[in-house]
Structure 1
Amino acid sequence: MESSGLETPFEQGITHAPDEPPSTHWHLHLSVTRTHGNRTLPVSSPQWKALRAEILLRDDRTCSACGYVSPHANGRSMVIDHADGDASNNDPANLRIHCPPCEAVRHCGFAGLRGWLFVGESTMEQVDIVRKTREMFESTGTVPRAKFVDPSAIPGDVDVLELANMMLETPWEDLPAERRRLKGFFTNHSSHLFHKTMLTGNQDTNDSGGDLGEAPFNESDRRAAEIAAREANLPWISYSKESPRSSQGFLDSYPPSKTSDTEVAWICVYNDRAVKMKDEESLDLDGLSTAWDKICAEGLVTLSQVDKLAEEFNVLSGKWLVFVPTDQVDALWGRIVRATLAGTMGTSAKVSPCDEGNPDYRHVICVYNSDYRSKAEVDKLRNGLRRLGVKERIGYKPDIYTNCRIYVGNSWGISPSRYRS
């Protein structure tokens, strides 16, 4: 294969290879696939990126199970699946595209562990459940409950993990008929599976909200829901001087470029000041949420109101956000970890893991200080990042903005960055 890189076919405006029509759709059902064989092409390698681009081009960025077509020219977050389960078999004939929800159905044991799927007995085809769930999600911004997807569905007599264990011993086609009537339905913790492939930006809020009668949503709400779902259902990997392993051992065990966002929410480091602050803090986040909802309901959202809430509920920390490509993130993260532990770089830091399905993914590194109101403290932290080699334009966001769901596209017109540099 002589493909030179990921972007070339799409930059040329080609939508599919003329001599290779998209792959035939396969019958989607709950399954357990233990990917065997060593992955011979790391997902960050140029060879895999080129092969991924080839498959996306060949199959028109179309999920081989449900027919969903990625609206992104580079097929952002679409998954290249090894049909035979052998990760070392990179023959293009063995590769097919999955959207994240269909990939979750194919790996239902993993999805069940993450709280993304549960099973119910349904006469609907699994692929139609995926399609209807996506349609409702795109209308409302929330994952619909099973009864809205299939009003006649009934709870399964086994849970998804029990079913997955059965399929480790018995192939799907050999299961009893009552087991094969079980279908996977998506939980409200699976919203990121549907959102990550969608076009982003401000949404049209003139629509009534779709089948579930939900209120219209904006990009800020969607982003908040996606982050909350990931943070609630995946572990945070943390390190401090109190940890038994060395800092280098921590960095070697969890390099952000190779740690998957399907397994870990954040990779974090804390220094002594952060540990002390955590011990002393007693944050009433429920009270903060109630107060914020009241302000929103009364239409009183202003920057000064946000600052008052921060002081009232003692949510005063903030962070500089640095966006880094995968091939550079490990080196910069290592420097930030060492500086944080030495006490010369804020109180703590965290980095997002790798999105294997997105070749253009940029990790976000958040570097924290204790008080966003102290411009001197904020500037000192920024200068420290510059000394560590951060040259790109960066933004600073108070944590109260995160608690109040102030993201890009929020409906209050508040910039998500307090400072930029």
Structure 2
Amino acid sequence: MTRTEESTAREEALDSAQGWVLVALGVCMLTTIWGTLFTFTVYASRLSTAFGLSGLQVSSVFSITTAVFLISGGVFGVVAARFPLRPVVVAAGVGLATVAAGFQIVDSYVGVLAVFALLGMTAGTAFIVVVSLIPQWFDAYEGSAMGITLTGNGLGVLTFPFVWLWLFDRVDFRVAFAAVTGTAALVVLVSSLVYRRPPGESIDAPDVDFKWLRWRVGDTRFLVATVGYALLWAWYYVLSSQIVDILTANGIDAAVAAGAFGIVGGVSIVARVGGGFIGDHVGQRDVFAACVILAAACVVVLPAIGSRLSLYVVLVGFGIGNGTLAALWSPIVLGRFGTENATATVGLLNTAIAGSAFLAPLAVSALRRITGSYTAPLVSLSVITVVGVALFYWGTASEHSVGI
């Protein structure tokens, strides 16, 4: 196929029905991935009981898993143009199936860590494939396609707590985990049948090399924005792993607490669409900062929650913060640092979050053991989030802006 023919084929593929099929499968993949990984707080106690793990060991499992998830996804994002796509998706599906089988065999802390690390690696690879591929299939509807695809994150957090609880009433934890991860594997393997880059994509493939990496990481604004971005995600990973413990410590019923993060996911679905729309009219960075600071304020009051009404108000605040954060960070970053080699740029930021995803839950658990309550850890977490917002806001300001 000549270059002209490739270009024509690409134009015909953009905004086509096949692109929307990929969106639908992307929603399914993100729903199962987020539903498995980021509802960890729902099944953390059962993991502890099944394998005799301490609270700190359970927190470390979540921290290591999310760190591997982010690093593997980020590394793949940096070198995505060098890999054939379909075999990578197949490998991710096989990896998830291996997780489902391996979980039935392991019987120690080290074994659990190994299985969850593989889960993070395969899920992270599938995630970066979805978020980097969908924009390549769209032109006029790129924003709508990405918005719909990313609702899978919220749907996973919204629905899977109830899936877990339904399974726990019927089977033991090992079988329940195998059912969920096995379903995720099946979704990924089915998606591999049609997941591919659009025709002619090699024409515009990013040329990422060490010179480009040195140039990118040598940009002070980019480094500051990256550090800020990592910090302002810390609250989300703490709540993903510990919100049930935080709420039950306040006297909230365990069943209500188990569904709390699902409410955050449900609100975030609406916030992804609404936050993007408002950001386009008011200013993306301002809306982003305001909504993440709202989430930080909710973190501060979380230890004082003692009733369902106040809980629901706080959960709505978390949902607004999470949804707006997810919807706007990429347009802000690419608008400031350019869309050339966008997949690699996104991959670098995704890798940076690994630090906060790994350290934040561990730090909160350790500080809680020292202080005897969640108050000091969550106040500290809120301050860190605000600092992250300030750094990200300054780092993504235009070159001619003054201050933050």
What TM-score, normalized to structure 1? 0.26
**Counting strand residues as a fraction of each chain, which structure ranks higher?**
1
Which structure: greater helix fraction?
2
Of structures 1 and 2, the one scoring higher in RCO (CA 8 A, sep 6+) is 2
